Every structure is written in structure tokens, then in C-alpha cells.
């Protein structure tokens, strides 16, 4: 490691001037920007949650004793969990087929997974409004087939929120799963088959356990991102499915209760950072596992 | 691969069922596009699906209403500088963390990526009072700053991915042979990471173009972006105008996607030739 004592001989020659030293200086501009416009605002929110309108735990006392706020936080967590489970169940077969398919099929599925990622979340939620509204496609289908007599009010409601959120989160589950499944050696399954395992046994005993790192990384990512959802629950869930981000926006922008909004945001921040640190560790392990396997 | 032909029939039925399930899920994934597109050519003023007749009246309405053009201009005025700034800061962060021999590089990377992972509403209510203090609330600059913060991680991720495939030996060689750090960057490093920087820039622009929460808090009447205008319209009334706007935006982002995947293809081809 030449860069350990870079300035010892003090010469101006380039060989003594370590490249690593120069590269460390490069961190100053992005570090300053992120500190000023990311860390300072975030700490500002935390500070405000303890100081607005008066210094103390007033906002948190309201948050954890008043029914609606606690209810909203709980709903946020259960919704994120539900979305994660639904995403996992729908993403797994897609990733399985994609990881083992021919290249052309792989590219087709890949395109179908990536295109929604490039479509505005507002617009996708709007499309689900068209599907779920009172005179929408779903209600037309339900009434014309005689399954229901009168149109169902899906909006505002939880079903519409789940369908819309899973749609947005699905690519974030499929992509880590595919990355992990591609690294699973197909010869292991072939060997199991030769040794007499049925495909179901080979899948359950070999493929499924080996895919767990991808499952964990994808689930942590989806759960974390679901916690902060705003657009979909605000459009499709309304007051019946008030998730934390919607409540924060409402408290700040409409009720002008910045202290409470900041306290809610701080709780959401703590939750997200906790899941994020788990995710970072998990995805490092997936990458590390891949590197050691080769 | 030939094994499939000698499998018992029940396994093949299992395979068919799997194909059917996956097809259904993929249809679900692209369903919104197939709803929005026909709806935008509907002849009715309310949302009826499938449309009973065709008309281009909603596109004419967009052209006539100046607020759509104004919002699009605002989105570009905010998105392009935000993407360029993200490219600069994201690239610097990636270079520094990958080549700086930092001890806590893992934690630092996690911190740089954090702005995309944390709920935008937290950053929005944090930046709002700050922008009031700086007297920037409601200006383009306020939104540019906010969108740069969420764009930096995207550039950082793409550039880091490119840097991870190279070990820095070329830069070291250039500097040993007497190149200044500045020369090394422009002659050696930048040509290697160029494509990662551009793809990251496109991602950052797309993120800004789609961003709603920061725009809700930071932009005002004269600076509102396209997503904010759509949002305001959605909360008031549902007309096929939104579907027409959505179709135009979709066409535009599809162009961006094609450019990004073209760059990616060029990048991987270069890498193959470089590796022999």
C-alpha cells in the first residue's frame, strides 16, 4: 500500500503524490452538497419534532396517544408488509422463468419489467383509477357478468391501493431475484435429478434455499420503499387508507401543524433507516456471495 | 435442454401453468399503458372504457391550454440542470469512494444512496423551511436543488458499477508517467466511465421529470412542474386530457429509455473489446 505514507518524502514528483489522496479530495464537493441540502434538512426535521411549538416530547405524546396518528403508522407498516408479501409471491415465478429462459425471452421479459419503471408513478396510479372507479372497467365487467348488482366503490379503498402499489414495486422485487437466481448453478438441479429427486424436490431442497439471499434483499428493498409511498395511497386510498407520507403532507401543507408532521416524519425516518441498514447488509452479502462463488 | 422432451406429462402441465401465471403477471405489469393509450383517443368527455369512438380532441385541448406547455417548460428548466449537477456530483462521489481507499467506504456509499431510499416527504418538509430562509421558495432553483439531491445517487450507482469493472491501473500508470490529476481524469478516467455518467444523467433527468413530492412543496404557481399540474388536475376532475398527456409523456420517456439502452449496449460492447 503505497498510499499509507504519501507525504513522507515531501517531494513534488507525481510518484510520491498518491492517487488515493487526490481521489479523497474529490469527495468534498458532493459531500458539501449532500451535507447542506440533505443532512441539514433531515436534522432540521428531527430538531423541529422536538421543538415546535415548544421544546419537549409534546408532539410524540400526541402521536402515540391520539388514535388516528398511531393508526396511520400501524397501517403504513402493515401495508408495506402486505405489499412485500404480494410482490414476492408474484415476482418469484416471473424471476424464475426469466432467469432460466432463452436469451430472447429473457430480453422480452426484461423489457416488460423495465418499461413500467420508466412510466410516471402519477400516470400509473391514474390508470388504476380508470380501472377501479365507479363506472370503471372492473365495475363494468363485474356488473355485466352479474357477479355484483350495483357497482362496488373500490376508490377510496385498500384493494385499489394494494393493486397500485404492488404494480409499482414489482420490478424492484423481480430484478434482485433475477440477479440472484442467475448465479445459481443449474448443474446442481441436474445433479439432483440424476440422483432421483423429482423437479419439485429439487426446487424445494436446492433452488429455493439458494434463492433466499435474493428474496431477502428484494423484500427489504420493497418494504423500505413502500413505507414512504405517497401518490398511490393519496389517489386510491383516500381517508380510508391514510398512510404516513399522506398524513405528513396533509399536516404540513394543509393543517400547518409542522411539529406533528416532523414527529411523524422522524418516526418514518427511523423505521426506514432501520430497514435500510438491514438491506445494505443483505445486498452486500448477495454481492459477496457472488464474488466468492466465482 | 433436451430433458424437457422426456419429462412425464404432469411436469409439462406444471410448466404450462407456470407460463400462464407469468404471462398474466406480465400483462398486469403493462396494463396501465394499454388503458391510457386508447383512452387518450376517446370521443367521450368522461372516462369510458373501451372508448365508443375515436377523436384527437384531447390532444388539441393540450395544445390549446397554455398551462401544459408552461409546465413542460418548467419540468425541462428544472430537470436538465438537475441532471447535469447530479452527473457532476454523482461522478465525483463515485470516483472518490471507489478510488480513494477510504476505510468506511461501505457506510459512505450507503449514505450517498440514502436520498433515493428515504421517503421524499421527509426531504421535502426539511427543504421547505430552508428554502424560505434562503428566499428561494417557489423558484426554479429550489426545485433544481431538491432534484439534484435525489439524482446524485442514480449517477453514483451507475458510475460505481462501471468503475467496479476497472481496477484503476490505467490511471495509476498515467500519473506515474507524469500526467496531472486533471489530465488523468479527462484523458484516461472519463473516457472509461463516460457511458455510465450519461446513463446516470438520463436516469436523474427521468427521476426529476417524474418527481412530485419535492415539487409540491418547493415550486409555486409560475414554476409548477408537469407532474404537479397532472396532480392538481387529477384531484379536481378526471378527463381523457390526462390520458393524452400521459401518452405524450410515455412516448417521451420511451425515447429516453431507448437512448439509455443503446448507450448500455455500446458500453458493454466496448468492454468486451477492451477485455480482449
The secondary structure of residue A237, as a DSSP letter, is I
pLDDT score recorded for residue B240: 82
Q: Is the pLDDT reported for residue B110 higher than 80?
A: yes
Q: Is residue A141 part of a domain?
A: yes
Q: Give me the residue label for grid cell 398486469.
A: B28
Average pLDDT, chain B: 86
Q: Is residue A86 part of a domain?
A: yes
**What span, in angstroms and rounded, lies between the C-alpha atoms of A137 and A128?**
10
pLDDT score recorded for residue A5: 44
Least confident of A226-240, B36-50, B204-218, B225-239: B36-50
pLDDT score recorded for residue A17: 55
Q: What are phi and psi of B138, to 5 degrees?
A: 85, 0
Q: Is residue A43 part of a domain?
A: no
Q: Tell if the CB–CB gap between B210 and A269 is shorter than 8 Å.
A: no
Q: Tell if the CB–CB gap between B176 and A14 is shorter than 8 Å.
A: yes
Average pLDDT, chain A: 85
Q: Tell if the CB–CB gap between B122 and A45 is shorter than 8 Å.
A: yes
Distances (CA, A) of B248 to A126, A251, B202: 15, 34, 18
Q: Is residue A195 part of a domain?
A: yes
Q: Tell if the CB–CB gap between A15 and B176 is shorter than 8 Å.
A: yes
By the CB < 8 Å criterion, does B118 face chain A?
yes
pLDDT score recorded for residue B73: 95
User: Residue A227: how many CB atoms within 10 A of its CB?
Assistant: 26
Give the residue on A whose Cα is nearest the Cα of B246.
A123
Q: Is residue A34 part of a domain?
A: no
Give the mean model confidence (pLDDT) for residues B127-134.
95
Q: Tell if the CB–CB gap between A26 and B100 is shorter than 8 Å.
A: yes
Give the mean model confidence (pLDDT) for residues B222-228.
93
Q: Is residue A92 part of a domain?
A: yes
Chain A residues with CB inside 8 Å of B249's CB? Answer: 120, 123
Q: Three-class SS string for chain B?
A: CCHHHHCCHHHHHHHHHHHHHHHHHHHHHHHHHHHHHHHCCECCCCCCCCCCCECCHHHHHHHHCHHHHHHHHHHHHHHHHHHHHHHHHHHHHHHHHHHCCCCCHHHHHHHHHHHHHCCHHHHHHHHHHHHHHHCCCECHHHHHHHHHHHHHHHHHHHHHHHHHCCCCHHHHHHHHCCCCHHHHHHHHHHHHHHHHHHHHHHHHHHHHHHCCHHHHHHECCCCCCHHHHHHHHHHHCCCHHHHHHHHHHHHHHHHHHHHHHHHHHHHHHHHHHHCC
Q: Three-class SS string for A263-279?
A: HHHHHHHHHHHHHHHHH
Checking phi first, is residue B220 left (phi over 0); if not, alpha (psi -120 to 50) or beta?
Answer: beta
- This complex has an ipTM of 0.85
Q: Is the pLDDT reported for residue B272 higher than 70?
A: no
Binned at pLDDT 50, 70 and 90, residue B140 comes out as: very high
Q: Which of A98-102, B79-83, B174-178 has the highest mean pLDDT?
A: B79-83
Q: Is residue A57 part of a domain?
A: yes
pLDDT score recorded for residue A16: 44
Looking at per-residue confidence, does B174 or A82 come out higher?
A82
**What span, in angstroms and rounded, lies between the C-alpha atoms of A97 and A231?**
31
Residue A123's nearest CA partner among B35, B48, B237, B218 is B35
Binned at pLDDT 50, 70 and 90, residue B52 comes out as: confident
Q: Tell if the CB–CB gap between B122 and A261 is shorter than 8 Å.
A: no
Least confident of A15-24, A69-78, A282-291, B80-89: A282-291
Residue of B121, B178, B234 lying closest to A248 (CB–CB):
B121
- The 10s digit of each residue's pLDDT in B74-90 is 999 999 999 999 999 99
- The 10s digit of each residue's pLDDT in A174-218 is 998 998 898 888 888 888 888 888 888 888 888 899 999 889 989
Q: Is the pLDDT reported for residue B108 higher than 50?
A: yes
By the CB < 8 Å criterion, does B19 face chain A?
yes
Residue of A116, A137, A230 lying closest to B30 (CB–CB):
A116
- Report the number of distinct structural domains present in chain A: 1
Give the mean model confidence (pLDDT) for residues B140-151.
96
Question: Can you give the residue range of the structural domain that contains A178?
Answer: 52-293
How many A/B residue pairs have CB atoms within 8 Å?
Answer: 254
Q: Is residue A7 part of a domain?
A: no
Binned at pLDDT 50, 70 and 90, residue B51 comes out as: low
Q: Is the pLDDT reported for residue B192 higher than 90?
A: no
Interface test with B, best of A29, A118, A126 (most B CBs within 10 A): A126
**What span, in angstroms and rounded, lies between the C-alpha atoms of B225 and B216?**
9
* Residues sharing a CB contact under 8 Å with residue A287, sequence separation 6 or more, in sequence order: none
- The 10s digit of each residue's pLDDT in A103-151 is 888 889 988 998 888 888 888 888 898 888 877 778 888 888 888 888 8
Residue of B22, B115, B122 lying closest to A269 (CB–CB):
B122
Q: Is the pLDDT reported for residue B146 higher than 50?
A: yes
Residue of B26, B124, B181 lying closest to A22 (CB–CB):
B181
- The 10s digit of each residue's pLDDT in A13-42 is 444 456 677 778 889 999 999 999 999 999
Q: Is the pLDDT reported for residue A1 higher than 70?
A: no
What's the CATH code of the domain at A268? Answer: 1.10.3720.10
Amino acid at each position: 500500500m503505497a498510499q499509507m505514507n504519501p507525504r513522507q518524502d515531501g517531494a513534488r514528483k507525481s510518484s510520491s503524490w498518491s492517487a488515493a489522496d487526490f481521489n479523497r479530495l474529490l469527495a468534498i464537493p458532493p459531500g458539501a452538497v449532500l451535507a447542506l441540502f440533505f443532512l441539514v434538512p433531515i436534522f432540521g426535521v428531527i430538531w423541529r419534532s422536538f421543538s415546535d411549538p415548544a421544546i419537549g416530547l409534546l408532539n410524540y405524546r400526541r402521536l402515540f396517544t391520539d388514535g388516528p396518528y398511531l393508526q396511520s403508522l400501524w397501517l403504513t407498516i402493515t401495508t408495506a408488509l402486505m405489499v412485500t408479501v404480494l410482490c414476492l409471491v408474484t415476482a418469484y415465478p416471473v424471476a424464475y422463468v426469466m432467469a432460466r429462459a432463452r436469451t430472447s425471452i429473457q430480453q422480452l421479459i426484461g423489457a416488460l419489467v423495465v418499461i413500467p419503471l420508466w412510466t410516471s408513478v402519477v400516470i400509473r396510479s391514474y390508470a388504476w383509477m380508470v380501472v377501479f372507479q365507479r363506472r370503471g372497467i372492473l365495475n363494468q365487467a363485474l356488473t355485466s357478468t352479474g357477479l355484483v348488482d350495483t357497482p362496488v366503490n373500490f376508490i377510496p379503498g385498500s384493494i385499489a391501493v394494494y393493486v397500485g402499489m404492488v404494480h409499482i414495486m414489482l420490478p424492484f422485487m423481480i430484478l434482485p431475484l433475477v440477479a440472484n437466481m442467475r448465479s445459481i448453478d443449474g448443474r446442481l438441479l441436474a445433479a439432483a435429478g440424476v440422483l432421483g429427486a423429482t423437479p419439485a424436490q429439487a426446487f424445494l431442497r436446492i433452488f429455493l434455499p439458494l434463492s433466499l439471499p435474493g428474496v431477502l434483499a428484494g423484500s427489504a428493498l420493497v418494504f423500505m420503499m413502500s413505507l414512504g409511498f405517497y401518490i398511490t395511497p393519496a389517489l386510491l386510498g383516500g381517508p380510508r387508507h391514510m398512510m404516513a407520507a399522506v398524513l405528513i403532507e396533509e399536516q404540513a401543507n394543509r393543517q400547518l401543524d409542522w411539529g406533528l408532521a416532523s414527529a411523524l416524519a422522524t418516526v418514518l425516518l427511523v423505521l426506514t433507516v432501520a430497514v435500510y441498514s438491514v438491506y445494505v447488509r443483505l445486498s452486500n452479502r448477495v454481492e459477496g456471495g457472488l464474488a466468492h462463488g466465482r | 435442454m433436451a430433458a424437457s422432451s422426456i419429462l412425464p406429462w404432469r411436469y409439462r402441465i406444471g410448466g404450462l401453468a407456470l407460463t400462464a401465471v407469468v404471462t398474466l403477471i406480465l400483462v398486469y405489469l403493462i396494463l396501465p399503458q394499454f388503458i391510457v393509450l386508447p383512452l387518450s383517443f376517446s370521443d367521450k368527455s368522461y372516462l369510458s372504457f373501451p372508448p365508443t369512438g375515436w377523436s384527437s380532441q384531447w390532444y388539441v385541448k393540450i395544445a390549446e391550454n397554455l398551462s401544459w406547455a408552461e409546465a413542460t417548460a418548467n419540468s425541462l428548466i428544472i430537470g436538465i440542470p438537475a441532471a447535469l449537477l447530479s452527473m457532476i456530483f454523482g461522478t465525483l462521489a463515485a470516483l472518490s469512494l471507489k478510488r480513494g481507499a477510504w476505510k468506511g467506504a461501505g457506510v459512505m456509499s450507503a449514505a450517498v444512496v440514502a436520498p433515493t431510499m428515504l421517503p421524499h416527504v421527509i426531504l421535502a418538509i426539511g427543504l421547505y423551511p430552508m428554502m424560505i430562509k434562503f428566499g428561494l421558495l417557489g423558484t426554479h432553483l429550489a426545485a433544481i436543488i431538491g432534484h439534484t439531491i435525489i439524482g446524485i445517487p442514480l449517477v453514483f450507482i451507475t458510475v460505481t458499477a462501471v468503475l467496479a469493472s476497472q481496477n484503476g491501473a490505467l490511471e495509476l500508470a498515467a500519473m506515474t508517467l507524469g500526467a496531472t490529476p486533471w489530465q488523468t481524469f479527462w484523458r484516461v478516467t472519463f473516457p472509461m466511465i463516460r457511458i455510465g455518467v450519461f446513463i446516470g444523467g438520463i436516469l436523474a433527468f427521468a427521476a426529476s421529470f417524474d418527481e412530485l413530492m419535492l415539487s409540491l412543496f418547493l415550486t409555486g404557481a409560475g414554476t409548477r412542474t408537469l407532474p404537479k399540474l397532472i396532480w392538481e388536475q387529477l384531484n379536481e376532475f378526471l378527463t381523457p386530457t390526462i390520458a393524452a398527456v400521459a401518452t405524450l409523456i410515455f412516448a417521451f420517456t420511451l425515447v429516453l429509455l431507448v437512448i439509455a439502452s443503446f448507450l448500455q449496449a455500446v458500453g458493454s460492447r466496448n468492454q468486451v473489446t477492451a477485455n480482449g
